[in-house]
Structure 1
Amino acid sequence: MRKKSIAALLYMVSLLPFWLLYRFSDGLYFLLFYVVGYRKKVVLENLKNAFPKKEESERLKIAKRFYRFLPDLLVEAVKMRTISKKQVMKRIELLNTEEVWQHFEKGKGVIGVTAHYGNWELGIHRLSLMTDFPRLVIYKPLNDPDFNEVYNALRCRFGATMVPMKQILRHIVRLKNQPHISMFVADQTPTYQDSDYFMQFLQQDTLVYTGTERIAKLTKNPIVYCHIGRKAKRGHYFCKFTTLVENPDDYAPHEITEIHNRFTEKMIQEDPGYWLWSHRRWKRKRRS
């Protein structure tokens, strides 16, 4: 019953036109930043640690840009329930698609890497419409099973397959020797059971996932980064593909993990307002 109520509410809200959803987003920005102060302490601390050389006023401007973008991200995610294929393709422009197709044409699978940057959720729909080859989206299940099921159904509207992290290997092995793309959101915070590898990321000692590298080494599939950035026009994005790794066997242990995290880091440093700064990314510390 609860699951049906959540699904019905998302559906009804998603029927609202974009212009009205953005009016709601404007109000939500004021509420989150000025009234509630949603995770403001976390955001400002993350920014201070990531950009210690920036003036406080400059970091505050970045924080405001993030809080201004966050409500747009939320309403656009809800809109995914009823958005048309035409609107999805209009709102996310694909750049350098040959970076993916060159591997498909060789009969290879592709390991896609992205981050909690720009509208990575709407990016699932755009990726789904890019090809008819299998599209796997690797995700970390939410704590709320009802919302998790409802939201995954929303993400799968155009053919993506949602795969929990712990089931990655089974799905990818099944697709061995056929073109497909497996998309990893690689900037999440792993548990100590999932990873023991720390690296410097945004000026901080950071525990990072090594699963992308492990899967690449196992399958020998190339790694292509999907940079989803925001355009000047509200609600419009680009997704630029860049091959980071052609042959995973050519790299030393952890080198691939360093490569795709450095790419994410550079992307954030160049335009920091669209990363998920409210995420408690640095809560894991090295064990003594």
Structure 2
Amino acid sequence: MGPLTSKKDDWLRRWGRNAEPLITWAVMGLGMLVRAMSASMARRFAWLIGDFIHHVVGLRRELVCRNISLTFPEKSDEDVRRIATAVYRNIATTFIDVLRFPLIRKVEDVEALVDIDVSPFWRGTDNGRTGAVVISGHYGNWELMATAFGMKAKPMTIIVKELSNKALDRAMNHFRTMNGNGVVYQAQAPREGMRLLNEGGVLAILADQSDPGASAYGEFLGRRATMFHGAAFFALRAKVPLFVGMCRHIDGGRYRVEMQEIETSDLKFCNEDIQTLSIRYTNVLEEYIYRWPEEWFWLHNRWKNA
């Protein structure tokens, strides 16, 4: 059985590598299609995709419903299913919106999509003169939030996970950077992130997923989970302010981005205070998820490494 299994695994890996160009071309073709649609039509199309993935494909459907049920034990099965449906629709909408990024060419274009108040950032950074860490989660349209912030406030460098499909990875990073933002891969983030902050740049981090390399644990949405300390490490080490930005859907296919500075003046760069700051911004993420659960990426198993 050993050699047969090995040959099968090798075939699957080769098939996956050979399929990468096809997947990339399909995504790029989809992008051309949705950019030819009106905004309302693209949104309805995204909902159809979300419903198909949820109800027909069933991608991680049991995991999503279990995560929601454990976080909200007071909700009925019907409520859980309703939230799950909205989750898949929102994820599909986020993806379609990213493919429509080439339609965002000037500030007025992003203002037509996003309500964002960047005044907390200006106040906390001496009108942008200092560096800053901005954290968020896989919530609402986090990709559009980064574009809106970069165009309305100051370009940011986003820490991203490199995709195994290199062509698709390059395409996604092109969308992310076409309006002035930059990206840095996780492996280079410790060095490049500190350099950026010391030079007055803005470093963006998504701080809501499981960290397999974490050595600290706490609670996230009422369950034991790994604690993401990276954002706290950067902010306290570089002595720069830290902000949480959360993007959520509002009426008419628009989004609202709300930003708040997290208190750091009472903290110094040490393990205990890194833990304290991590809890502070994690609490903000939790507040949004509890209030608008349909906006979060429940497909990720946040508690798998606990």
Q: Same fold (TM over 0.5)?
A: yes
Aligned residues of 1:113 and 1:224 also touching (Cα < 8 A): yes
Identity of aligned residues (%): 22
Name whichever of 26-35 and 179-188 sits farther off.
Answer: 26-35
4+ residue runs of structure 1 moved beyond 6 angstroms? none
Q: Which has the higher helix share?
A: 2
The yes-or-no answer on 1:25 pairing with 2:46 is yes
Aligned residues of 1:224 and 1:245 also touching (Cα < 8 A): no
Name whichever of 117-126 and 163-172 sits farther off.
Answer: 163-172
The yes-or-no answer on 1:53 pairing with 2:77 is no
2:256 is aligned to: 238
1:183 is aligned to: 204
The yes-or-no answer on 1:200 pairing with 2:222 is no
Write the deviation string for residues 92-114 of structure 1: whole angstroms up to 9, x where unpaired.
Answer: 1112x221112332732111011
Match of 2:55, SS state, is: helix
Match of 1:200, SS state, is: strand
Name whichever of 161-170 and 52-61 sits farther off.
Answer: 52-61
| 1:150-161 equivalent positions in 2, closer than 5 A | 150-161=171-182
Match of 2:251, SS state, is: coil
Correspondent of 1:111 among 133, 140, 145? 133
Which amino acid counterpart does residue 218 of structure 1 have in structure 2? R
The yes-or-no answer on 1:93 pairing with 2:115 is yes
* Distance apart, 1:223 and its partner CA: 0.7
Write the deviation string for residues 129-154 of structure 1: whole angstroms up to 9, x where unpaired.
Answer: 023x4511111222222211110011
Give the alignment's Cα RMSD to 1 decimal. 2.2
Distance 1:36 1:2, change over 3 A: closer
The yes-or-no answer on 1:130 pairing with 2:130 is no
Flag structure 1 segments of 5+ consecutive residues without an equivalent.
Answer: none
Which amino acid counterpart does residue 244 of structure 1 have in structure 2? I
Distance 1:53 1:7, change over 3 A: closer
Correspondent of 2:36 among 4, 16, 40? 16
Flag structure 2 segments of 5+ consecutive residues without an equivalent.
Answer: 1-19
Name whichever of 74-83 and 4-13 sits farther off.
Answer: 4-13
2:7 is aligned to: none
2:280 is aligned to: 259
Distance 1:8 1:56, change over 3 A: closer
Match of 1:118, SS state, is: coil
Larger radius of gyration: 2
Distance 1:175 1:70, change over 3 A: closer
Query: How many residues are treated as equivalent by the alignment?
Result: 280
